[in-house]
Amino acid sequence: MRDFYGTQLKNGLMLGTAQYPSPAILASAFAQSEASVATVSLRRESGQNRAGQDFWELIRQLNVHILPNTAGCHSVKEAVTTAHMAREVFDTKWIKLEVIGEEDTLQPDVFGLVEAARILTEDGFQVFPYTTEDLVVAERLLHAGCEVLMPWGAPIGSGLGLNNVFGLRAMRAHFPDTPLVIDAGLGLPSQATQAMELGYDAILLNTAVAKAGDPAAMARAFALALQAGRLGAGADPMEPRDMAAPSTPVIGKAFLE
């Protein structure tokens, strides 16, 4: 497992905290997943309502690393301001940076993303950028100071899995020493296994677990899927072939006359 800004995680599962039916189900899902990281969105709290404060206390009790995000931000200024607020609330340099550029797909505005990453890195943040699988953008983000890349698998909340396996494989090959996280679009544990088999270091997901009929069971399934994918990738798997190859040797086979 690679280090994420000097922190080594016990596993590669980063789990979101939104959309769960209840706080108890959220806590159960995290317990079953054994996730290393919880992602949280910053929201302003009402002075007459302690619901937000109770939520933050629940997150702290999960005893995992906290990764605040700038979800819903559509401009550099908005993302940078939200990141600074999150650092004050959670007392962490980590920030998942989202700058959304297109409403229907929630695709990142990669131009704003690079600019915001540069600003936040200079301000002392350790940035986890939600990006596409574009290699040029990835290079720009690394030059801006990012030490982690988080390409999407598919649009947020879509459950479509890994839409561009070629591009994701190329990113892994092009940046062999950079921690890579599949962020968004996963819907099934098998898709998480595929990400690990491609050599990725972690996955980040929310909707696939929170919106499942049994979030705790789905969280456990994703945890096991990551283990399977990582073990498979490390076992030197066979290369695909265009032709059949018999698994039973012909030498020594009995022939009847």
Measured from the Cβ of residue 71, the count of other Cβ atoms closer than 10 Å reads: 21
157 is in an annotated binding site: yes
Rounded distance between C-alpha atoms, residue 161 and residue 159, angstroms: 6
The alpha helices in 91-214, defined as continuous H runs, are: 110-122, 135-143, 165-174, 189-197, 207-210
Candidate list 10, 77, 96, 211, residue with the active-site label: 96
Residue 186 has phi, psi (to 5 degrees) of -80, 140
* Contact of 150 with 113, CB cutoff 8 Å: no
CB 226 within 8 A of CB 12: yes
Q: Is 92 part of any known ligand binding site?
A: no
* Cα dihedral 191, 175, 82, 84 sign: positive
Tokens representing 205 are: 């997901």
Task: Decide: 131 and 152 in contact? Cβ < 8 Å.
Answer: yes
96 assigned to active site? yes
Rounded to whole angstroms, the Cα distance separating 196 from 39 reads 20
Q: Which backbone phi and psi does 230 adopt, to 5 degrees? A: -70, -40
d(CA 69, CA 129): 10
Q: Is 185 annotated as a binding residue?
A: yes
| 207 among annotated binding-site residues | yes
Instruction: Extract the annotated binding site.
Output: 157, 184-185, 206-207
Which active-site residues does the annotation give? 96
Q: Residues marked as binding for 1-deoxy-D-xylulose 5-phosphate? A: 157, 184-185, 206-207
